[in-house]
Structure 1
Amino acid sequence: MPTADTKKLIILDRDGVINEDSDCYIKSLEEWKPYPKAIDAIARLTKQGWTIAIATNQSGIARGYFTEHTLSQIHEAMRCQVESAGGHIAQIAYCPHGPQDGCSCRKPQPGLLEQIRCSLGMENLHAAWLVGDSLRDIQAGAAMGCQLVLVRTGKGMIAQEKELPTGTQVYDDLEKFANFLLSA
Structure 2
Amino acid sequence: MKLLVLDRDGVINEDSPAYIKSPEEWQPIPGSLEAIGQLTRAGWTIVVATNQSGIARGLYDVAMLNQIHARMHRKVGQAGGEIEAIFFCPHGPDHGCSCRKPNPGMLEDIQRRYNVPAGQMVMVGDSLRDLQAVAAIGGRPILVRTGNGRKTESQGRLPEGTLVFDDLAAVAAALLLD
> Shorter-chain TM-score: which interval?
over 0.9
Root-mean-square deviation (Å) = 1.0
2:77 aligned to 72, 80, 83, which one? 83
Pick one of 140, 148, 151 that aligns with 1:158: 151
Residue 53 of structure 2, aligned match among 59, 74, 80 = 59
Tell me the distance in 1 between the aligned counterparts of 2:76 and 2:118: 24
Q: Which moved more, 1:150-159 or 1:161-170?
A: 161-170
Q: What is the identity, as a one-letter code, of the residue corresponding to 1:151?
A: V
Amino acid at match of 2:133: A
Stretches of structure 2 that go unaligned for 5 or more consecutive residues are none
Cα separation, 2, equivalents of 1:84 and 1:30: 17
Q: Secondary structure at the match of 2:131?
A: helix
8 Å CA contact 1:107–1:140 kept in 2: the answer is yes
The 2-side partners of 1:53 and 1:126 are apart by 17
Q: 1:45 to 1:109 in 2, by over 3 A?
A: same
What's the % identity of the aligned pairs? 55
C-alpha contact 1:91 1:116 (8 A) present in aligned 2: no
Displacement after TM superposition at 1:123 (Å):
4.7
Which residue does the alignment assign to 2:41? 47
Does 2:145 align with 1:143?
A: no
2:164 paired with 1:174: no
Whether 2:106 is the aligned partner of 1:112: answer: yes
Deviations 1:6-36 (A, max 9, x none): xx11100000000000111111111111113
Cα contact 1:62–1:98 (8 A) shared by 2 = yes
3-state SS in 2 of match to 1:160: helix
- Out of 13, 16, 29, the position equivalent to 1:22 is 16
Which AA in structure 2 matches 1:50? Answer: W
Partners of 1:150 and 1:158 lie apart in 2 by: 11
Mapped partners of 2:58, 2:11: distance in 1: 24
4+ long deviations beyond 2 Å: none
- Within 1, Cα distance between the matches of 2:33 and 2:133? 23
1:115 Cα offset (Å): 1.7
Q: TM-score, normalised by structure 2?
A: 0.96
Matches of 2:85 and 2:108, distance apart in 1:
12
Quick one: which amino acid aligns to residue 38 of structure 2?
Answer: R
Q: How many corresponding residue pairs?
A: 177
